[in-house]
A and B are shown apart, each in its own frame.
Chain A
């Protein structure tokens, strides 16, 4: 009888174990097939690359380019593994698990702001030798800044991205907005926040919201919205990336968050916008990425335009988002020289041009725009994005605690927006408390792992 009790107790705990344990084991299916570079007996080096899966044109570009390289360089054979990026953080989780099990490939693609985090933790190694200063001068400043940590170049990118304000010309005209005025704007006098709010107000009806400010509830929030904060006078963290207190929770940042929350509270923007809200004619304007141009060209059944990223009324300082996936060499790479040589070739002016054309993103190299593949960037909406990149782009904070900053900020903004959406008012004290929490979490992480 007693034995039976003990046995059944054991059974229950085993059951609990099996059920609780299978919840957490999902992350460990990392690449068993990823082999780090190894020189085989005949002196051939193999290099493995991880990068996010992309659309067909990009996948085709990779196949073609790798075949080209492998044929010309029998001694350095390169292969690529496309990694699914099913949600905002899935790819990063895979890199993280690969680090813990020493399964990192030789080269992997990193999203811009994560570079500092990996660099500070020694996951990726400097590559200044392969991209000296005179070579880097061909790249837009924003990408060089984003790829540099502690004075060293840790990654290199072929493409950049930017965000600007798309507007539905047909619908704005219908609502009595002066479209000609918007079209006449230049980088010296972009729309201000109050002008954007005015437009959004005019255009909000039962079937339309005035604008669209939420790309997703993850990395999209700091990516698309940080320049608003900078434009209003304060960045998320100090310039050296060590301090968030007095920055993210400063008076200026609270003000910026209030402005954004106000758009949600008044119903001018949706808190959970549908997929392709602008394309589907459900919002009048949107803060959209440079990649949206080709989508709209292909599918929009209305006349649309793009104008510069809006600026704060108080400072009128033009700032714009940027950042894209960049190639970095991992600490587990056995033949850094081979990887560096390969990247030198992969990110040369011509390859950058064809890659940028395939992925429909602006190129990082100024010289690439002379290539025929980049012809459509000469004027129109694409030229506007390039103009922003060359003049007003500011990379996301370069701090080793970026992953904490990003997730905590995204959480805080989602909370702030939810509060605004359900109460239809904006509570400055609540915004302050949420942003204070971001600053506190940042400090805790920075002090624990990176201070001293």
Chain B
């Protein structure tokens, strides 16, 4: 009897300790996430020129009403969704392929792992500038176009043509981001017991069958996590269009976060920018939850 009570005591103590340990994190979350988000919602109800904090007018839901008829908002939303829908599968499949390539043990594999991961270690701004040069439409400057013309092909206006700009950004973003997901997949792959593969090959399963019936099911949890995290990251695309295309050409790379920035900072419509940010937040939460549900159902 006394033994069990001391056990529950310990449990209680542990629980209290656990709560205390979360306090710093909770405080930071509260100060830097919850409070700003509440402020965002609050300011979204005002007409607020950013350099006139002394002169703001309450306008209720007008900013939200404006948003529904603002074609630039819808365009930005469409661009963001387009980017996300294409980049998530591209980046995840690429990451999985890379992970499988480097999961086997051979001499020098660490070098390849480092190489594939290295774009992650570089600032996105630097990478964007680098790719702006690679993508330059002039074959004398742009390496890719220089390669294309040496094959006798026409140079492509990667970033200055509205039809190719977003796809060019998708490709470089996938290339940059895949290294991180590769590492997560790699950890997942190494968690799959070897003997399952051995047993399968004894039963006569070929490589494709092994991939479909052992690797994929074994990675289920990892895939869920990777897809979700990639999707949320993709939704907040900003750096690449900001550095490489300034939202152009013809607004084809203007994303929601970029739109929030231009509205709030460049044009000073702070209240309106807050409204867009609030709606954006809701969209991301809904997408994440439905994605989670979708994955849960397929299991």
B127-164 interface bits toward A, Cβ cutoff 8 Å, 1 = contact, 0 = none:
00000000011101100000000000000010111110
A172 near B: Cβ within 8 Å?
A: no
> By DSSP majority rule, is chain A's interface helix, strand, loop, or mixed?
helix
Given A17-B37, A21-B33, A445-B267, A422 contacting B160 (CB threshold 8 A): yes
Among A8-16, A72-80, A377-385, the stretch that binds chain B is A8-16
Give bound CA distance, A271 to B249, whole Å: 11
Q: Is the CB of B138 within 8 A of A449?
A: no
Q: Is the CB of A89 within 8 A of B248?
A: no
A111-131 interface bits toward B, Cβ cutoff 8 Å, 1 = contact, 0 = none:
000000110011100000000
Q: Is the CB of B138 within 8 A of A270?
A: yes
Could you say which residues of chain A place their CB within 8 Å of the CB of B159?
272
Q: Is the CB of B33 within 8 A of A93?
A: no
A207 near B: Cβ within 8 Å?
A: yes
Among A146-154, A187-195, A287-295, A407-415, the stretch that binds chain B is A407-415
Could you say which residues of chain A place their CB within 8 Å of the CB of B247?
411
A19 near B: Cβ within 8 Å?
A: yes
Could you say which residues of chain B place their CB within 8 Å of the CB of A403?
266-268
Contacting residue for B49 out of A93, A274, A419, A449, CB 8 A = A449
Give bound CA distance, A27 to B51, whole Å: 14
A2 near B: Cβ within 8 Å?
A: no
Give bound CA distance, A224 to B190, whole Å: 59
- For chain B, residues 241 to 299, give those with C-beta under 8 angstroms from any C-beta of chain A: 246-251, 257, 260-262, 265-270, 277, 280-281, 284-285, 288-289, 292
A373 near B: Cβ within 8 Å?
A: no
Contacting residue for A422 out of B53, B162, B280, B285, CB 8 A = B162
Q: Is the CB of B248 within 8 A of A418?
A: yes
Could you say which residues of chain A place their CB within 8 Å of the CB of B269?
445
Nearest to A118 among chain B residues (CB) is B51
Q: Give, as a whole number of angstroms, the nearest-CB distance from B74 to chain A.
A: 15
Interface range on chain A (Cβ under 8 Å from partner): 35 or more
A228 near B: Cβ within 8 Å?
A: no
Given A96-B51, A121-B49, A421 contacting B285 (CB threshold 8 A): no
Of B49, B251, B270, chain A has the most CB atoms within 10 Å of the CB of B49
| B interface, CB within 8 angstroms of A | 29, 32-33, 36-37, 47, 49-53, 136-138, 140-141, 157, 159-163, 228-229, 232-233, 235-236, 238, 246-251, 257, 260-262, 265-270, 277, 280-281, 284-285, 288-289, 292
13 contacts across the A-B interface (CB closer than 8 A): A15-B229, A15-B288, A16-B232, A19-B232, A21-B36, A23-B257, A282-B138, A414-B246, A418-B157, A418-B161, A419-B250, A421-B161, A422-B160
